[in-house]
Amino acid sequence: MIEEIKTVARQRLAAEGANLSLRAVARDMGMVSSALYRYFASRDDLLTVLILDGYNALGDAVEAADAAVTDRTRLRARWLSATRAVRDWALANQAEYALLYGSPVPGYAAPQDTIAAAARTPIVLAAILTDGYAAGIVTAAGFQRPASLPAAVRTDLSRTRDQIAPGLPEELLHAGLTCWLQLFGVLSFELFGQLNNVIDARAEFFGQQMELMADLMGI
């Protein structure tokens, strides 16, 4: 039942856009709106569950795309496959992507399990670097000395490193972080219309940008 509600809600989300209406979902199910409150405490509650599912669906897709590269030492292929999976999922689920990475709803605070699910995608990307570093394929040689990063940023980086990519040098995590930001920067601009009249060859541009990021990481 809960699953059916979520499915219908996702359909309405895809059809109508961001402002999901509980009553519309109930109508689609042949129910009355108050009946939904037996399964979800509020509209925000339903949205939170959809967000959680979204992060996990994206995480699944990205993990599968990374795992599809059987030769685990082909770091660039893994990076391109994983980032391509992010874009494919985002294009196929635009409203959900907007829910995850668009402007947050006003008084909404992400619960703890949400941030764990959200971390899955960056963890996959970081693992590519971690694997490469462990195998000696990628070194931190070509990167900015840690000393040149502001101390406060280094603190943040080492904390984040311990959480998602243990053992990775800070310089490499920093490079990966930069590429992660570029990935979602490009994607958000594409999906939110900021690339209209600027770049029409979206897929080619995205691929080229991800190649560039691979160069930057030295993979």
Interface residues with DNA (CB under 7 A)? 1, 20-24, 30-35, 37-39, 41-44
Residue from 77, 209, 214, 217 binding its own copies (CB under 8 A): 209
Q: Measure the CA–CA gap between 11 and 109, rounded to whole angstroms.
A: 24
Instruction: Report helix, strand or coil for 147.
Output: helix
Residue number with CB closer to DNA (44 or 215): 44
The option from its own copies, DNA, none interacting with 112 (CB < 5 to 8 A, set by class) reads none
Residue 204 CB, shortest distance to its own copies, in Å, is 4
Q: Which of residues 161-190 bind its own copies (CB under 8 A)?
A: 177-178, 181-186, 188-189
Q: Measure the CA–CA gap between 37 and 103, rounded to whole angstroms.
A: 26
Q: Measure the CA–CA gap between 101 and 187, rounded to whole angstroms.
A: 10
Residue 185 CB, shortest distance to its own copies, in Å, is 2
Q: Measure the CA–CA gap between 131 and 135, rounded to whole angstroms.
A: 6
The pair of three-digit structure tokens given for residue 171, joined into one six-digit string: 């310089």
The pair of three-digit structure tokens given for residue 81, joined into one six-digit string: 């496959």
Q: Measure the CA–CA gap between 14 and 95, rounded to whole angstroms.
A: 6
Residue 5 CB, shortest distance to DNA, in Å, is 9
Q: Measure the CA–CA gap between 170 and 151, rounded to whole angstroms.
A: 12
Q: In terms of Cα–Cα distance, which of 122, 125, 64 is closest to 89?
A: 64
Binding mask 69-108 for its own copies (x = CB under 8 A): -----------------------------xx-xxxxxxx-
Residue 20 CB, shortest distance to DNA, in Å, is 6
The option from DNA, its own copies, none interacting with 200 (CB < 5 to 8 A, set by class) reads its own copies
Q: Does 147 bind its own copies (CB under 8 A)?
A: no
Q: Does 152 bind its own copies (CB under 8 A)?
A: yes
**DSSP string for residues in 115-130:** HHHHTHHHHHHHHHHH
Q: Are 2 and 52 in contact (CB under 8 A)?
A: no
The option from DNA, its own copies, none interacting with 110 (CB < 5 to 8 A, set by class) reads its own copies
What are the residues binding its own copies (CB under 8 A)?
16-19, 98-99, 101-107, 110, 115, 118, 144, 149-150, 152-153, 155-156, 160, 177-178, 181-186, 188-189, 192-194, 196-201, 204-205, 207-209, 212
